[in-house]
Amino acid sequence: MAGVPPALRALRREQLASYDFEALGFEAAALAGEAYLDLSASGRRVPVPDLLRGAQARILGLTLATSNPAHFPGLEVEDPRRS
């Protein structure tokens, strides 16, 4: 809940509780590590948490909602700020 003002935390918890969550496993971690190496070799730096989210989305075949699609090359993304 980093960045969520205390007055909104209960509401955010309630909203998040309506979603299904999948555990991050070895395959996602390995895929994120490979992406890190590939992107680093081409001079691009993407934060590790974004690489992990992207790897998990790829494994699960999900569209990723993000306002920073550049951090998720090769993935189907939807920018909620443009919807």
What pLDDT, in 10s, does the model give residues 67-78?
A: 899 889 889 999
All structural domains of the chain, each given as residue ranges with its CATH number in brackets, are: 25-83 (3.40.50.1010)
CA-to-CA distance for 29 and 44, rounded, in angstroms? Answer: 19
Q: Which of 18, 23, 48 is nearest to 35 (CA)?
A: 48
Q: What is the pTM of this model?
A: 0.76
| 14 sits in which H/E element | helix 9-17
CA-to-CA distance for 83 and 81, rounded, in angstroms? Answer: 6
What pLDDT, in 10s, does the model give residues 6-64?
A: 999 999 999 989 988 889 999 999 999 999 999 999 999 999 999 999 999 999 999 99
